[in-house]
Structure 1
Amino acid sequence: MPQTLEAQHRVPNALAGCRLDQAAAELFVDHSRERLKGWIKAGALTVDGHPAKPKEKLAGGEWLRLEAELEDEARFEPEAIPLSVAFEDDAVLVVDKPAGLVVHPAAGNPDGTLLNGLLYHCPTLASVPRAGIVHRLDKDTTGLMVVAKTLAAQTALVEQLQARSVSREYDAVVTGVMTAGGTVDAPIGRHPRDRKRQAVHAAGKPAVTHYRVVERFRGHTHVRCRLETGRTHQIRVHLAHQRFPLVGDPVYGGRLKLPAGADEGVKTLLREFPRQALHARKLAFDHPVSGQRMTLRAHLPDDLLLLIDALRDDAETMT
């Protein structure tokens, strides 16, 4: 059954003149402003028993009452999916996601997802929206994800993401030899013709990716990316937009390019690399309870290590 929330607060005189959504965010501190705004619009958060609009100004002294139902994740089955846990306490869980694992059930992937594994690992996550998931990685992207184990922790982490105070760094291997790092500041939105893809276009949402060169090879580059924003497929879209698509990317990679002069072993490895060469290597955030800055790192997975080692060995034969 869905979890029912009931709470009320009287608007203090100090908040007189504030908008309803602003006052609600100050009083119902366990919930994000966006979630509260949705409840206001749905009539689940009322003023003196009456529905109101988020922008309505308050005089002070009103009673704000919340009666809402949280999304119940118990409808998804817990599954004994092995999880690589990088950190865990009573408030947060950080996992190192493998390639091939879908984060959330959807059409075509009704089970066998990270969410199913989280519900098995920590059954109390059934009472937290999206089982505590606050950000996602693509199915074939590996690396670190933070999961909130309580509603209050989830609200705090979502607010950090919105404030861009969560630091996320990725390792990637791209086709082409970069001369230097840089920044891509280009809006991303759904592709105007192919609804399954994202694209850089003026009607998209702001998106900023910083990247720097780690190592150059014969026809490829190992780069390190840092996100300011978290748009769907952001690194994949931005680097392809710069004409440096990720190795193995089936959506944005374009035509396979093999470096002239490379040995057959390297060419075969590039032809057969089974996924986009992208790994979430570093994650930093403020702990939602202690406030301590948490920094976690995940080693490169074996397939990326093998690829980088092979490209490095091949590059050394050029000298």
Structure 2
Amino acid sequence: MNESSAVLTVEIPFEHAGRRFDQVLAELFPDYSRSRLSSWIKSGDALLDGALVAPRQLVKGGQRISLVAVASQEVPMAPEDIELDIRFEDADVLVINKPVGLVVHPGAGNPAGTLQNALLHYDAKLIEIPRAGIVHRLDKDTSGLMVIARSLRAHTTLVEQLSERAMHRQYEALVMGPMISGGSVDAPIGRHPKDRVKQAVVDEPAGRPAVTHYRVRERFRAHTLVQCNLETGRTHQIRVHMSHIRHPLVGDIMYGGGLRLPKGATPELTEVLRGFKRQALHAEKLEFTHPVGGKTISVEAERPADLAALVVALRGDTKVNGEADNAKRR
């Protein structure tokens, strides 16, 4: 193994039992293209319990995958001077607070101006790490914390923590409707059967297991502020799960959280709600084991200004209308 490669190992979660080796490999190592992973299976650089197997080999839960991954840039990308809000930094990891509107990876419609471009400008050595060290994602219009690997050893460990559900990710969300109490949503998520841009709750095997725990933080007249903790990390998971229980996120047009003004809303709340053009979701806390020292790293990011203003407006509306209701009772 040369200096620009690393052995990545991960235990296959039991939820993947009965699936093809190449499919599981692609899901557990999303930083690499399917074509590259396929070539590593054929070359013997991707092994199942130490053995060379065919791509179509069905796996069992609990087996270990070892992958000799060569760190190289898969897609040419230019560094860009984009400001980063860094909340933790050392030689092996970065934790950044991603602002609303910043796309994580380049793609169709977003060839530049992404977090990946910004990271390559901040640290040129990140070109040697898959996807410039990005090991998990946030949607463009979701704000909050992300951890970045700055070394291959850090990348290996962080990917393992994610796959083994050992990384703690906590979110704050503002949802439609008055929520009585907290709970959990245990419902598999997969590609929407009709709209390929969206995700949806779908039965297995098309859907992958997904669990979101939530609790009520603050109730308003027609909205609820909740804390969400992820047990799994599926695409759009919180957005899909909250919509599934009929409490879509405020501002989330894709999943049913379009503009709805409460009856008798104050002018202040009306103005803020009309101007809130994204899903009300913020990744507020990230906790993981440091990939080198083993120390627990815990980082928090304050509520962004637009969400904070919306919460203030909701409190004001609740107070005004509550006082009006009390006056009527008198």
Asked if the contact 2:171/2:283 (under 8 Å) is kept, the reply is yes
Report the counterpart of residue 198 of structure 1 in structure 2. 199
Aligned to 2:148: 147
Does residue 268 (structure 1) correspond to residue 271 (structure 2)? The answer is yes
Listed one character per residue, the Cα deviations across residues 264-300 of structure 1 (whole Å, up to 9, x for unaligned) are 2212211220110000000000000001111110000
Tell me, yes or no, if the aligned pair for 2:239 and 2:248 is still in contact at 8 Å.
yes
TM-score by length of 1: 0.82
Give me the whole-angstrom Cα distance separating, in 2, the residues matched to 1:251 and 1:152.
Answer: 38
The change in CA–CA distance for 1:250 and 1:67 in structure 2 (over 3 A counts) is closer
The TM-score with structure 2 as length reference comes to 0.79
Matched, 1:45 2:45: yes
Q: Between 235-244 and 246-255, report the one with greater CA deviation.
A: 246-255
> For the residues of structure 1 that align with 2:41 and 2:233, how far apart are their CA atoms?
26
Q: Distance in 1 between matches of 2:6 and 2:160?
A: 22
Match of 1:11 in 2: none
Q: Would the aligned equivalents of 1:167 and 1:227 in 2 still touch at CA under 8 Å?
A: yes
The change in CA–CA distance for 1:181 and 1:92 in structure 2 (over 3 A counts) is same
How many residues were matched structurally? 283
2:245 matched residue in structure 1 = 242
8 Å CA contact 1:103–1:114 kept in 2: the answer is yes
2:289 — aligned with what? 286
Alpha-carbon distance in structure 1 between the residues aligned to 2:260 and 2:75: 46
Aligned identity (percent) is 54
Larger gyration radius, structure 1 or structure 2: 1
For structure 2, list consecutive stretches of 5 or more residues without a partner in the other structure: 8-20, 22-27, 58-66, 324-330
Aligned to 1:297: 300
- Name the structure 2 match of 1:10: none
SS at match of 1:269: helix
Cα distance, 1:216–1:152 mapped onto 2, change above 3 Å: same
1:40–1:52 contact (8 Å) kept in structure 2: no
Distance of aligned partners of 1:255 and 1:79 in 2 relative to their CA distance in 1, 3 Å threshold: closer
Once the two structures are superposed, what CA deviation does each residue of 1:206-257 show, in whole Å capped at 9, x if it has no partner? 0000000000011111110000000000000000111111111121134432
CA distance in 1, matches of 2:37, 2:195: 32
Q: CA shift at 1:45, angstroms?
A: 2.8
Q: Against the structure 1 CA distance between its residues 267 and 188, is the aligned structure 2 distance closer, same or farther, given a 3 Å change threshold?
A: same
Corresponding residue for residue 92 of structure 1: 93
SS at structure 2 position matched to 1:42:
helix
Alpha-carbon contact 1:103-1:115 (below 8 Å) kept:
yes
Amino acid across the alignment from 2:231: E
Worse-superposed segment, 259-268 or 112-121: 259-268
Paired residues of 1:74 and 1:126 also in contact (CA < 8 A): no
Q: Which runs of 5+ in 1 are unaligned?
A: 8-20, 22-30, 57-65
